[in-house]
Chains A and B, each alone.
Chain A
Amino acid sequence: MVAGESGMGKSTLVNSLFLTDLYKDRKLLNAEERINQTVEIIKHTVDIEEKGVKLKLTIVDTPGFGDAVNNNECWKPITDYIDQQFEQYFRDESGLNRKNIQDNRVHCCLYFIPPFGHGLRPVDVEFMKALHEKVNIIPLIAKADCLTPNEIKKLKDRIREEIDKFGIKVYQFPECDSDEDEEFKQLDKELKECTPFAVIGSNTVVEARGQRVRGRLYPWGIVEVENQSHCDFVKLRNMLIRSHMHDLKDVTCDVHYENYRAQCIQEMTSKLAQDNRMESPIPILPLSTPDVETEKLIKMKDEELKRMQEMLNKMQQQMHDKEQ
């Protein structure tokens, strides 16, 4: 799933990642049409094959996110979609015929953070908080070609700080085994220090240093998408497709899906329990508000009684003293 405001380069990045063109005939909305836009969910499914290995790739796009003037709860359609997929899988899993379950669950969400600001914005924080327990979030800094290396570093530190501050659980790379070789560990460490990745995408192929590469042509130079010193695109691609794809799927299955399942089952059982209790002669649950009121009355009466008692005691004391 890719999420982020319009114009962040999501489609371009997806095309660059999978070296295809998924968005051939896209219609972009005008600004005035976007004033009151709601978020849609669009799925693109492609089957790609490389050296005999087949991959069924589904890209879930979220056009309209963050585009309207009032973006309250604009992430709701997205969370609903993810829950829907979980629910469907849950049903299929508990069904009778389990041979042909289609796994439509979202394995990873690439969230595009705009590079124009000083860090995370409120809408970013809210979105990630709403989703971090449902899906693996990988935050990316979009359009990184507007930041100098210094600025990128500062922004990354800032974002990492803010993610910690707000308690957002982004996808963590798994620790490598202790018996892996040093080089791998070094690579892994570098990878972890590089998050969030600053990426640049490109739909065009340009000629640079005698080679044809994917890049962006500027009057002052050529930005190469696959050049490690220009941006972290290569790292992202390696991580997403070559090394961590399976881990992403595992975490989705083991952690997020299980959470959802446990929650679902709990809700169902508590609902059943409620229904059962309703029929018993001693209704405990339905008397939520009347209880409170009668309790209040009882309390009041108690207090009054106490006061009267005290007064009586005082009067007795007085008589006591007088008689003495």
Chain B
Amino acid sequence: MAATDVDVFSNEEKRNLSLGGHVGFDSLPDQLVSKSVTQGFCFNILCVGETGIGKSTLMNTLFNTMFENEEASHYQNGVYLRPRTYDLLESNVHLKLTIVDTVGFGDQINKEDSYKPIVDYIDTQFENYLQEELKIKRSLFNYHDTRIHICLYFIAPTGHSLKSLDLVTMKKLDSKVNIIPIIAKADTISKSELHKFKIKIMSELVSNGVQIYQFPTDDEAVSEINSSMNAHLPFAVVGSVEEVKVGNKTVRARQYPWGVVQVENESHCDFVKLREMLIRVNMEDLREQTHARHYELYRRCKLEEMGFKDTDPDSQPFSLQETYEAKRKEFLGDLQRKEEEMRQMFVNKVKETEAELKEKERELHDKFEQLKRMHQEEKRKVEEKRRDLEEEMNAFNRKKVAAETLSLSQPLKKDKDKKKSVKTENQSAVSASSSKVMMAKANVEPLNCQSWWQAIQCCTCLVHNATWKPGGLF
């Protein structure tokens, strides 16, 4: 129904009517202006260039303030971007300015990946905006737009041509952002060299198909100035925040022993042109281009990637809703499958580890058993020895007692003969026992030291007492 209505509308002739009196809708532009002024504007600049080439100084010069900026070191490992947001106010127009600096660009020895962080950053900003756009409850008018509106690419003033890194980086960036190439530190190139240098750069850009930002020439008010500016690209700029007295004025300039380079002097450098183009004339166009061209391109690529199409094979307009549902189902299905897989894996792993643990336990058990057995063995042996020793001990004690009783009855000579036989027996027994003692002593560790020593001493005294007279006893 809605489709047919629209058709009717466009085929209808538009009729011009003349007004009888002053209606008042000519105040629409003013309403727009006042609304914009209260809302404030937003502008994002990306500065790409080698360390020390003058990005921060140029920003300070362009906006006539001192943004806080520490000097970057040359020894960064990679390139990273440093965005800083400032709120500027000029005769009750608010500007939310974000300056993104590339730190470490061009410093590494291997610069093949230098462009990647920059491209990633730009894409992220687009992505954030896309997310906001696709939200159910969205607030686009309140959204802080961080998409990069312009990239100022700083070219080193070698005087010959672009560097290889410059070419590679610009090629990667030209479809994502508006690029304006700038020749930095232009006070080192003389006029004639500058002319040649600019021509060389432009021809290189063209021959490599790099699309830099062209100032728009459709709007009559600015077309003339824009087209003349287009011929001056790339701008050769000099930045300075120091003030120098020239004549009777104080201007921003750089003082050399051989002269003073004035920043705002058109014959010295193109700074004024850059400022005009960037801020005074084309800021709005830059924002529009970013939104209409670069962002739309990004959005289209991204959505196509996700599988959305504008029309399906039957050329019926595809509903976003249906596509979304289909995608969602697919996605959930994938998730479930993955979950199953992971669970399986987990279970398998647990089984494996359990098996391993059981193995280990068994081994430990075996070892334990073995050790226990060994221990038992040793214990047994030790017990045996102990028993032997005890036997020895007892035997000797008995002998000792017998020997003592013998010694008591020794002084009676009458009993000598009687005792002799007993003695000899005892003697031999003692000697035997003593020898046994000796032998036993040799076999056993010094467990019962004290008693043994005493025993031996008794033995010896016994031996001495027992008179080994030649042929006496035997």
Contact = CB atoms under 8 A, between A and B. Distances in A.
Interface of A: 5-8, 28, 30-32, 34-35, 37, 67-72, 74, 114-123, 126, 143, 145-146, 148-149, 216-224, 227, 229-230, 315, 319, 322-324
Contacts of A315: 375, 378
B191 A119 contact: no
A70 B111 contact: yes
B202 to A, nearest CB: 12
A238 B67 CA distance: 44
Top 10 nearest A-B pairs (CB, nearest first) are A7-B158, A221-B259, A146-B188, A117-B52, A220-B259, A31-B162, A221-B258, A35-B164, A31-B167, A34-B164
Which of A6, A114, A146, A217 has the most chain B CB atoms closer than 10 A to its own CB?
A146
Binding site of B, secondary structure by majority: helix, strand, loop or mixed?
loop
Interface stretch (B83-91, B261-269, B273-281, B403-411): B261-269
Interface string B146-160: 000000000011111
A71 B161 contact: no
Contact of B447 (A118, A122, A217, A323): A323
B335 interface: no
Contacts of A68: 164
Interface string B350-391: 000000000000000000000000010011001000100000
Contact of B73 (A34, A37, A114, A118): A118
20 contacts: A7-B158, A8-B158, A31-B166, A32-B208, A35-B168, A37-B164, A67-B164, A70-B109, A72-B110, A117-B51, A119-B74, A146-B185, A149-B257, A218-B190, A218-B261, A220-B256, A220-B259, A220-B262, A227-B258, A230-B258
Contacts of A229: 257
A30 B156 contact: no
Interface string B230-270: 00000000000000000000000011111111100001100
B190 A122 contact: no
Interface in B127-173: 156-168
B80 to A, nearest CB: 16
B392 interface: no
Contact of B163 (A31, A220, A230): A31
Interface string B323-362: 0000000000000000000000000000000000000000
Nearest to A12: B159
Interface string B182-199: 001101101100000000
Given A31-B164, A119-B74, 11 more contacts: A35-B167, A67-B163, A69-B111, A69-B164, A116-B157, A116-B185, A118-B72, A146-B187, A220-B260, A221-B256, A223-B256
Contacts of A35: 164, 167-168
Interface of B: 50-54, 71-75, 107-112, 114, 156-168, 184-185, 187-188, 190-191, 204, 208, 254-262, 267-268, 375, 378-379, 382, 386, 447
A217 B185 CA distance: 16
A72 B109 contact: yes
Contact of B75 (A67, A122, A146, A323): A122
Nearest to A151: B254
Given A69-B168, A117-B74, A145 B187 contact: yes
Contacts of A143: 157, 188
A30 B161 contact: yes
Contacts of B53: 116-117
A18 B447 CA distance: 106
Given A30-B161, A120-B74, A223 B167 contact: no
Given A31-B167, A117-B51, A230-B258, A122 B109 contact: yes
Contacts of B188: 115, 143, 145-146
Contacts of B208: 31-32
Contacts of B447: 323-324
A31 B74 contact: no
Which of B110, B191, B204 has the most chain A CB atoms closer than 10 A to its own CB?
B110
Contact of A7 (B110, B156, B191): B156
A31 B185 CA distance: 20
Nearest to B382: A319
Contacts of B261: 218, 220
B204 A7 contact: no
Given A35-B167, A117-B74, A230-B258, A7 B159 contact: yes
A216 B159 CA distance: 14
Nearest to B169: A69
A270 to B, nearest CB: 32
Given A67-B163, A116-B50, A146-B188, A219 B168 contact: no
Nearest to B255: A148
B158 A118 contact: no
Contacts of B159: 7
B110 A70 contact: yes
A128 to B, nearest CB: 13
Which of A32, A69, A119 has the most chain B CB atoms closer than 10 A to its own CB?
A69
A323 B185 contact: no
A117 B50 contact: yes
Contacts of A223: 256, 258
A77 B262 CA distance: 44
Which of B161, B256, B258 has the most chain A CB atoms closer than 10 A to its own CB?
B258
Given A32-B164, A34-B163, A145-B188, A118 B109 contact: no
B160 A28 contact: yes
Contact of A116 (B109, B167, B184, B267): B184
B165 A69 contact: yes
A68 B261 CA distance: 33
Nearest to B166: A31
B420 to A, nearest CB: 42
A114 B109 CA distance: 15
Which of B51, B52, B54, B164 has the most chain A CB atoms closer than 10 A to its own CB?
B164
A306 B187 CA distance: 80
Contacts of B157: 7, 116, 143, 146
A148 B256 contact: yes
A224 B258 contact: yes
Which of B73, B163, B208 has the most chain A CB atoms closer than 10 A to its own CB?
B163
Contacts of A122: 74-75, 107-109
Contacts of A120: 74
B112 A218 contact: no
Given A121-B74, A122-B74, A222 B160 contact: no
B378 A217 contact: no
Contacts of A8: 158
Contacts of B378: 315, 319
Given A8-B158, A28-B160, A219 B267 contact: yes
A148 B74 contact: no
Nearest to B260: A220
A123 to B, nearest CB: 5
A72 B112 CA distance: 11
A149 B257 CA distance: 8
